[in-house]
Amino acid sequence: MLSRRRFIATLGAAALAGCGRPARERGATTLVFKHGKLFGDPRALRALIDEFERAHPGVAVREETLPASSDEQHQFYAINLQARSEAFDVLAVDIIWVAGFARAGWLRELGALEPGAFFDGPAEAVTWEGKAYALPWFVDAGLLYYRKDLLEKYGLAPPETWHDLVGVAREVAGRVPGMHGFVWQGKQYEGLVCNALEYLHSNGGAVLADGRVVLDSPQNREALALMTDLVHRYRVTPASVTTATEEPSRHLFGQGRALFLRNWPYAWRAFQDPSSRVHGKVGIAELPRFPDGRSAPTLGGWQLAVNAASLHQEESKALVKFLTGEKAQRRLAVAYGFQPARPALYRDAELLATQPFVGRLARVFAAARPRPVTPQYVRVSQVLQSDFSAAISGLRTPQAALAHAQRRIEAILGAD
Amino acid sequence: MRTEREQPWRYLAPAALLLGIVTVYPLAHVVWLSLERRSLLDPAPPSFTGLDNYARLAADERFWNALGNTAYFVAVSVSLELVLGLAFALALQRPFRGRAALYGIILLPWAVPTAVSARMWEWMFEPDIGVLNYVLGAQVNWLGSPAWALNAAVLMDVWKSTPFVALLLIAGLQSIPQDLYRAAAVDGASRWTVLRRITLPLLAPMILVALLFRTIDAFRVFDAIYVLTGGGPADSTETLSIYTYKMLFQSLEFGYGSALAVSVFACVALIAGAYVFLLRRILQ
């Protein structure tokens, strides 16, 4: 199975390399830009690329789209980058891959980031051993959606702390039959890690600090205990949260059956549809925090990087700088509602006028925290997924789950 | 004389070559990879580490958990499929009006692609709006509780694969000579005696073949459970194939992942060997 897949991937890479060659022989340079299917209409991105081509005579850019599944993209990149494939020059990478790809030597180092040009979260996530290996392109982070109409009706304010949220949810759910208090993503998958880290980080906790595993800490115990209490003690979250991913939780909230929802900004659009049952009744807020902590939404999003084996290093770097630059990010934001990684754009009049919702997210993105930045992230995440899931489904106490995860992650990083 | 002896080899060579390329070589390669420390993301070049990966396997609680889940899944789903499949086969054995239509309906679950039926079952298992809880009037968190999730996957597998067992057994039943049944009727044998003394013994080889196919298939189960639960909650539905997939294609740990793949292969080979041994004894 394995060798066959590699074989096919190699064949594919060889075929692509073959395609690129004639252009080089003509004296022109063709840059291949690989990315997953990112957003709706591809024309605005293409228009930007055309502009880049006009500014760089002799350079042509070809976009190549990868399957939407993040696992498949990760595999494709890893297999081809490891084989030092020259078949693509610029690539879009998920925030959680940068450290691994950088340590493997697959990405070109891009120099120091302009201080303050990008939000802190993405800036931290693209940096490995003090150097940037990718530039933030667009960002994503967790948000709290709430039923504005119901909070107003009962004279309640959006919650600032997790305990406030529990109080509000119990009060409203007690008065509205069939209403769940708070829905989020609790299935054993990457989304669960994103959710759980928001509790840990907003209580001053962490997974790694200076390369050490600091998971089994009092802050984390308190945070994870609150998360499991939502289900088992306060019962504001239905037990079926252990099967919920983004869409099912969005549906539940969209049908008017939940007071609070934790989701990514994308969900906003669905609630604006006039046919939606919650149309006009939805408010957004920063995710709650613990009394001594700060709201800490988990960071997602995509970065652009240069393949270290690319034959066109300078042109590729120029393309990455161009597409992650202020002008390009503004244009993509206006065209698609794409969320720029540059804080300055959130004060831009044109953007605020055309995408008022994006404009409201500046504070959220400024507070967003990356998942642990380690080359072993995928394996660390698998451990976290399983132990967080054990805690939420009541199989292990939060304390036992954290201690168990601590041991397993230490083993992974120790063997590395 | 000499040419006659050489001839079989010439006819077999293309098939043997093809099998060698598509089966033996990849298998040997996976075995080889399992002896290496090799991870795509590891900047160090791959190195030969002998049986290290297997030592790690023996001490890996996640591996034993996955093996236990797989064994439970196989044992429960295959026994249920056999009992139900046999019942269907016996019921459909004699011609009656509408039998052809019934055949078609029973075969339907087998014809639906697994990923599609898993998606369908995911909706039926949904605790709030799913049809299963509605019909049962219950509030079971089918896929979300560690106690239920693997059983829910068994239920789906039984629904999907019973038709296959029934089909094989119907074919087996039709090959039993009718004379034996007539003779038994003349002797005044009860239906239970006929089933025990004639049908089951003569059906035994086909039962073993069905068991062989189903056991191997169930042991490698991947798509159904991956779609239903992704291995959760708390690894309670993580089978060996799912663990192997995550190790190979998410973590990109080709060395250790290959050791896991070899362990799946070894288990399946043992099971197949045991069935073939039994089958031979019965046929002799």
Instruction: Report chain A residues whose CB lies below 8 A from the CB of B42.
Output: 104, 416
CA–CA distance, A384 with A118 (Å, rounded to integer): 28
State the count of interchain CB pairs (< 8 A) between A and B.
Answer: 116
Predicted local confidence at residue B103, as pLDDT: 84
Q: Identify the pLDDT of residue A26.
A: 47
Residue with tokens 């034996």: B180
CB contact under 8 A, A378 and B141: no
Residue A1 has pLDDT above 50, yes or no: no
Please list the pLDDT of chain B residue by residue as tens digits (284 residues): 455 566 788 889 999 999 999 999 999 999 999 999 998 888 888 999 999 999 999 999 999 999 999 999 999 999 999 999 999 999 888 778 888 888 888 889 999 999 999 999 999 998 888 899 999 998 899 999 999 999 999 999 999 999 999 999 999 999 999 999 999 999 999 989 999 999 999 999 999 999 999 999 999 999 999 999 999 899 999 999 999 999 998 999 999 999 999 999 999 999 999 999 999 998 87
What would the pLDDT profile of A222-258 be if each residue is shown by its tens digit? 999 999 999 999 999 999 999 999 999 999 999 999 9
Chain A CB contacts of B261 under 8 Å are: 1-2
The mean pLDDT value of chain A amounts to 91
Q: Are A116 and A175 members of one domain?
A: no
The DSSP-derived string for A10-31 is HHHHHHHHHHHHHHHHTT-EEE
**CB under 8 Å to A170, separation ≥6 — which residues?**
A181, A234, A236
Residue B264 is assigned to a structural domain of this protein: no
Q: Which chain B residues contact residue A257 at CB under 8 A?
A: 128
Candidates A104, A242, A376; nearest CB to B144: A242
Residues of A in contact with B144 (CB under 8 A): 186-187, 239-243, 393
Determine the Cα–Cα distance for residues A181 and B281; give it in Å rounded to an integer.
63
State how far the Cα of A235 lies from the Cα of A159, in Å rounded to an integer: 17
CA Rg value for chain B:
23
Q: What is the pLDDT of residue A3?
A: 42
pLDDT at A25 over 50: no
- What residues of A are in contact with residue B146 (Cβ under 8 Å)? 390, 393, 395
The DSSP call for residue A183 is E
Do the domain assignments include residue B246? Answer: no
pLDDT bucket at A312, cuts 50 / 70 / 90: very high
Q: Is residue B161 within 8 Å of B217, Cβ to Cβ?
A: yes
- Distance (Å) from the alpha carbon of A188 to chain B's nearest alpha carbon: 5
Is residue B90 a part of any domain in this protein?
A: yes
Question: What is the token pair recorded at A12?
Answer: 């594919």
One domain for residues A119 and A152: no
Residues facing B87 on adjacent strands:
none
From the list B41, B235, B246, the residue facing A100 with the nearest CB is B41
Q: Are A136 and A154 in a shared domain? A: no
pLDDT at A203: 98
Are A233 and A170 members of one domain?
A: yes
**CA–CA distance, A258 with A250 (Å, rounded to integer):** 9
How high is the ipTM of this complex? Answer: 0.89
* Rounded distance between C-alpha atoms, residue A410 and residue B91, angstroms: 58
B235, A242: Cβ pair inside 8 Å?
no
Q: Is the pLDDT of residue A7 over 80?
A: no
- A390 vs B233: CB contact, 8 Å cut-off? yes
Specify the DSSP class assigned to residue A242: G
Residue A287, pLDDT above cutoff 90: yes
> What's the pLDDT at A22?
43
C-alpha to C-alpha distance for B172 and B151, rounded to whole angstroms? 30
Instruction: Examine the pLDDT at A27 and tell me if it is beyond 90.
Output: no
Same domain, A289 and A310: no
**Same domain as A289, residue A398:** yes
A66: phi then psi, degrees, rounded to nearest 5: -100, 165
Establish if B49 belongs to a structural domain.
no
Helices (H) and strands (E) in chain A, counts: 18, 13
Work out the average pLDDT over A254-275.
94
Residue B8 lies in a domain: no
Domain encompassing residue B163 = 74-237
The reply to whether A201 and A106 lie within a common domain is no
Better-predicted residue by pLDDT, B71 or A19: B71
The CATH number that applies at residue A207 is 3.40.190.10
- Contact between B43 and A103 using a beta-carbon 8 Å cutoff: yes
Task: Give yes or no: residues A98 and A243 share one domain.
Answer: no
**For A82, which residue in chain B has the nearest alpha carbon?**
B40
8 Å CB contact between A378 and A96: yes
- Work out how many domains chain A is built from and give that number: 2
User: Can you tell me the distance from the alpha carbon of A392 to that of B237, in angstroms, rounded to the nearest whole number?
Assistant: 16
CB A10 within 8 A of CB A84: no
Residues A382 and A361 in one domain: no
**Domain containing B123 — which CATH number?**
1.10.3720.10
- Total domains in the fold of chain B: 1
Side chain identity at residue B120, one-letter code: M
User: Between the CA of residue B162 and those of A381, B77, B148, B209, what are the distances in Å?
Assistant: 37, 9, 21, 14
Site from B22, B27, B41 to mutate, A interface, most A CB atoms within 10 angstroms: B41
Residue A12 clears pLDDT 50, i.e. is over it:
no
Alpha helices in A295-396 (DSSP H): 313-323, 326-336, 349-354, 356-359, 362-367, 377-392
Report the chain A residue with the minimal C-alpha distance to residue B122. Answer: A243
pLDDT value at A109 more than 50: yes
Rounded to 10°, the helix A43-55/A326-336 angle is: 160
Whether A314 and A111 have beta carbons less than 8 Å apart is answered as no
**Would you say residue A85 has pLDDT above 60?**
yes
Closest CA to B99 of B174, B193, B207, B160: B174
Instruction: Please name the residue of chain B whose CA is at the shortest distance from the CA of residue A178.
Output: B128
CA distances from A220 to A70, A121, A143, A196 (A): 28, 20, 21, 10
pLDDT tens for residues A330-384?
Answer: 999 988 888 999 999 999 999 999 999 998 999 999 999 999 999 999 999 999 9
- B34-70: string of b/e by CB count within 10 Å (b at 16+)? bbbbbbbbbeeeeeebeebbeebbeebebbebbbebb
Using CA coordinates, name the residue in chain A closest to B259.
A2
* Residues in B touching A105 (Cβ below 8 Å): 43
Range A182-198 burial, b when 16+ CB lie within 10 A, else e = bbbbbbbbbbbbbbbbb
pLDDT at B5: 61
Q: Are residues A288 and A307 in the same domain?
A: no
β-bridge partners, A307: A107
Q: Within this chain, do residues A287 and A168 fall inside the same structural domain, yes or no? A: yes
Residue numbers of B between 227 and 246 with CB closer than 8 Å to A: 229-236, 246
Chain A contact for B248 (CB, 8 A cutoff): yes
Contacts of A386 in chain B (CB under 8 A): 62, 232, 234-235
CB contacts under 8 A, A 155-174 vs B, are none
Cβ atoms < 10 Å from Cβ of B227: 19
DSSP state of B246: I
Closest among A398, A334, A306 to A90, alpha carbons compared: A306
Structural domain that includes position A229: 143-296+376-415
> B119 lies in a domain?
yes
Q: Are residues A80 and A154 in the same domain?
A: no
* Burial of A344 per CB tally in 10 Å (0-12, 13-18, 19+): middle
